[in-house]
Amino acid sequence: MSVEDENHVAKFSDPFQLIAAGIISLPIDLPGTPFNKAIKASNFIRKELIKIIKQRKIDLAEGVASPTQDILSHMLLTSDENGKSMNELNIADKILGLLIGGHDTASVACTFLVKYLAELPHIYDKVYQGMCIINFHTHPFPILSISLYWDFTPLNRLVNKVKKNQMFILLLFSKEK
């Protein structure tokens, strides 16, 4: 989005922390809950993004910004097969999803993996047994490749569940349904 002002970037820090906490919380929208705070934080960020989007539209019209400058310019200038451009709210939602997706993604995914392994002991047992088998069938000091893990069905299913749930949570924070 080509935002280089440190103060502007710092304005997003606290709301992103609230969103990160809300993503891994129970989806209960009651005042004071992490989920409720995350919704409010996403609304704040969305409003700030819309301000940035409006300014970029002006900058593009005046030739100050380049059409190939970044993804925001691309989203503003790209139209669908009917010649219709995305509206500001839709663009803000997509950028918010990209920002959330790029913020602590690996740690959130690992947290969800551990959460589900703790909640689903029968899956944990299958994953543990499978890892033992993989380690046993390699050599005493195995060099495990990612393909060995992905071929292991219980772990693959668990990772897919985590990915689906993360996408569902991102949809909960989207304004345009």
Q: How many CA atoms lie within 13 A of 132 on its CB side?
A: 6
Is the domain of 110 the same as that of 38?
Answer: no
d(CA 82, CA 135): 54
More confident residue, 46 or 168: 46
Is the domain of 71 the same as that of 133?
Answer: no
More confident residue, 71 or 111: 71
Domain extent for 133: 105-169
Distances (CA, A) of 98 to 71, 93, 130: 10, 9, 34
Last residue of a domain, one of 72, 103, 134: 103
The one-letter code for the residue type at 70 is: D
pLDDT in tens, 94-146: 888 888 777 666 676 777 778 778 888 887 888 787 777 666 555 555 555 66
